[in-house]
Amino acid sequence: MALLLQIPLIVAPRRRQLGKIPSRISLTTLRLGLGLGLGLAPRKSKSKSNRNTVPSSSLHNNRLFVSVSPTMASTAQKVLVPIANGTEPMEAVITTDVLRRAGADVTVGSVENQPRVDAAHAVNILADALVSDYANTVFDLIALPGGMPGATNLRDCAVLESLVKKQAADGRLYAAVCASPAVALGPWGVLKGLKATCYPSFMEQLAPTATAVESRVQVDGRVVTSRGPGTTMEFAVALVEQLYGKEKAKEVSVPLVMRSNHGDEYAITELNPVEWTFDDCPKILVPIANGTEEMEAVMIIDILRRAKANVVVASIEDKVEILASRNVKLVADVLLDEAANLSYDLIVLPGGLGGAQAFANSEKLINLLKQQRESNRPYGAICASPALVLEPLGLLKGKKATAFPALCNKLSDQSAVENRVVVDGNLITSRGPGTTMEFALGIVEKLFGREKALELARAMLFIRP
């Protein structure tokens, strides 16, 4: 089944009704969630500037940050994220999401002859427009995701090649991750004399066109490169720093709950271990709703499909298309009404404040979750969903769990909340976007074993190969 993502050309959504906000969530918590952690986009910048150059480093260093409130974003920087058939969806969505958290005006452009592209792992993306429509547009940053044959298709786009070459010649920022530094930037000649990195199996191809290094993220002059899906969040935060400075990068990265030990082997905290069983191939339900955090949803879906699980993405709304937290439109495989007719080896909820609120108001989903626990089948949640969905339903009773840091005070048992991923019997919970890979790998570990999870973690460069 395919998951369709449509990413519109806007920085922040119009105000939308999210349902009743729990009275115990403070204004401070809501501000944190609005900007960066719980999956609500910051307010759109009023700036309509179409600058020909990015601000100089001195302006970056002297920028006045009058408040750390994410609703007061710096002037929007214009960013192009080109996509193609075969693009790695985690790299495209993480880059887009993180940059939009910083207030950037991100345009996702298809290099194909239509907006819709067939990305990897049965994820389809509908771009804002075609790259050819932006042939004469000036961007502050052009950032290429990887994936194969996505990187090759980006390389073969003459308009994109011209844009990136002009970007380099004019001293503006450009970037690439995974296969794209070697497959696209190298052949275009924009890495000459510069240090760069890429996906390990493409390092030999990169070597003749750049000084190849094995850094997780490499910044040299106005080019930023990185290695794969597991380094993309670091890559995206580095791009925020290049565009807006260190203070903004810190403001964006802290609520993501990123790891400090990048590249080290991950660990999950497991209590009361039980075996998670299934017949033949595990069937997993991933519900999505308006306000779902798209990074969390896409990483869960992508990684579980890499493990060859049968992942069903179901919209709890009255249509398959939902508006996610950073203005990414996801189109589910089915409506929950149809999905509810089946039984699942695992039900796993992504986070996002609006999405969690919608989950908590879905009687059909509530019934599925209750049936899952009553039949001793696994279920899980991340970010806002453990606190706003599982806890009120009594599905954390007698269990250790964690959640988004600002919502952990809503859990009745807070003894395990500092752990990044907690497994207690048939329950798995986690904290936020920056813990989602560990969360998904923890699920793989429970279903397929530790070795399979480590194999995927290495392949994605989440841990050192």
Contacts of 246 (CB under 8 A, 6+ apart): none
User: What pairing do the DSSP bridges indicate for beta strands 223-226 and 173-177?
Assistant: parallel
The C-alpha atoms of residue 87 and residue 103 are separated, in whole angstroms, by 24
The identity of residue 267, as a single letter, is A
Nearest to 309 by CA among 130, 440, 116: 440
Is 216 exposed, middle or buried (CB count within 10 Å of its CB: 0-12, 13-18, 19+)? middle
The identity of residue 113, as a single letter, is N
The C-alpha atoms of residue 368 and residue 359 are separated, in whole angstroms, by 11
The identity of residue 224, as a single letter, is V
Residues assigned a catalytic role: 383
The C-alpha atoms of residue 416 and residue 419 are separated, in whole angstroms, by 6
178 and 462 Cβ atoms separated by less than 8 Å: no
Reading the block at residue 338, the tokens are 């149809």
The C-alpha atoms of residue 165 and residue 39 are separated, in whole angstroms, by 35
Reading the block at residue 422, the tokens are 């907690």
User: What pairing do the DSSP bridges indicate for beta strands 334-335 and 310-315?
Assistant: parallel
Reading the block at residue 409, the tokens are 């005070």
4 and 125 Cβ atoms separated by less than 8 Å: yes
Reading the block at residue 97, the tokens are 């999401």
- Looking at the chain, how many residues does it have? 465
